[in-house]
Amino acid sequence: MRRRTLAATLLAPAFARAQSWPQRPVRIVVPFPPGGSNDVMARPVAEKLQARFGQPFVVENRPGAGGAIGAAQVAQSAPDGHTLLVTSSSFAGSAVVQRTPYDALTDFTPVALLARSPFIVLTNPGFPPRDMNALIAHARENPGRVDYGSSGAGSIGHFVTEMLALAAGIRLNHIPYRGMPPAVTDLVAGHIQLLITTVASASAVVRENRVRLLAWTGPGAPPGSPVAPLVREATGLDYEAAIWWGILGPRGLAPEVVTTLNTAVRDALADPALTRLYEGEGATPAPGPASAFAETLAGDIARFRQVAQAAGIRSE
């Protein structure tokens, strides 16, 4: 009886913290402009959480410095669960190539993964290679003469394309852009030959056959997505890449709050309406425990660090 009483006494503060959260409106910081993929992933989940907990969950866009400005605000906030960050794999890339006022691994608490999406490998229709093996063969015969675009030096597109180049033993020429739309425009115009991007960023030009879809970078494409082989299956290369979106809190976020929030997010992701919305963006809900998200983040940072060293990736 005494042991049960002692256990109950020890658990009481934790239970109280979980039951009392949230006590006021919750800020969800999106470190990129409105309308981008991070924003699209954050807002429907915020609505679900607001309905569940009866407190406003307010999405605030704080763009700048490749996402570092918004992330720094969350890292410096109180670890009480009332300030959260929704970000993507670009967070891991920034941790490798930028000097940030925070440590991506130690200054945040992973809370929940929201969604994943593989990338698509696109070429200009006038570019001779018509499949992945032909692309790789052409690049080997013309080292450094195949131009590919990304949304900027050190961006996720920069990383995943150099990962492909390293796996295939080829050398490509990187053309950084200020965002993905101008890169897509130049691919269509033939100013660059290759682009690896999300399906949401290029859905119109894929649908209109203004670019050639060669492959998906990994499994997990939503139902109804354009049909193409996986890079690994088509080439035999040890290559797979995907983008993720997830929720982080400041360092020291109470485990009970993490559990409560993670459970609520997983329930929200089970809603068919939210699934359809994500699938419209080329993504698939990816519910799971906070520990799995922590492993994903740490794994990406380690992998991106290796790629940055091997390919000489640096931020602008």
Q: Which residue type, as a one-letter code, is found at position 279?
A: E
Confidence (pLDDT) at 315: 76
Question: Where in the chain are the domains?
Answer: 26-116+242-311, 120-235
Digit-coded pLDDT (tens) for 98-130: 999 999 999 999 999 999 999 999 999 999 999
Find residue 250's DSSP bridge partners. 108
Nearest CA to 188 among 171, 201, 174, 170? 201
What CATH superfamily classification does 26-116+242-311 receive? Answer: Bordetella uptake gene, domain 1 (3.40.190.150)
pLDDT in tens, the chain (316 residues): 555 555 445 444 544 444 689 999 999 999 998 888 899 999 999 999 999 999 999 999 999 988 999 999 999 999 999 999 999 999 999 999 999 999 999 999 999 999 999 999 999 999 999 999 999 999 999 999 999 999 999 999 999 999 999 999 999 999 999 889 999 999 999 999 999 999 889 999 999 999 999 999 999 999 989 999 999 999 999 999 999 999 999 999 999 999 999 999 999 999 999 999 999 889 999 999 999 999 999 999 999 999 999 999 987 6
pTM summary value: 0.89
Confidence (pLDDT) at 65: 87
Note whether 26-116+242-311 and 120-235 share their fold. Answer: yes
Q: What integer best gives the mean pLDDT of the chain?
A: 93
What CATH superfamily classification does 120-235 receive? Answer: Periplasmic binding protein-like II (3.40.190.10)
Digit-coded pLDDT (tens) for 200-247: 899 999 999 999 999 999 999 999 899 999 999 999 999 999 999 999
Confidence (pLDDT) at 124: 98
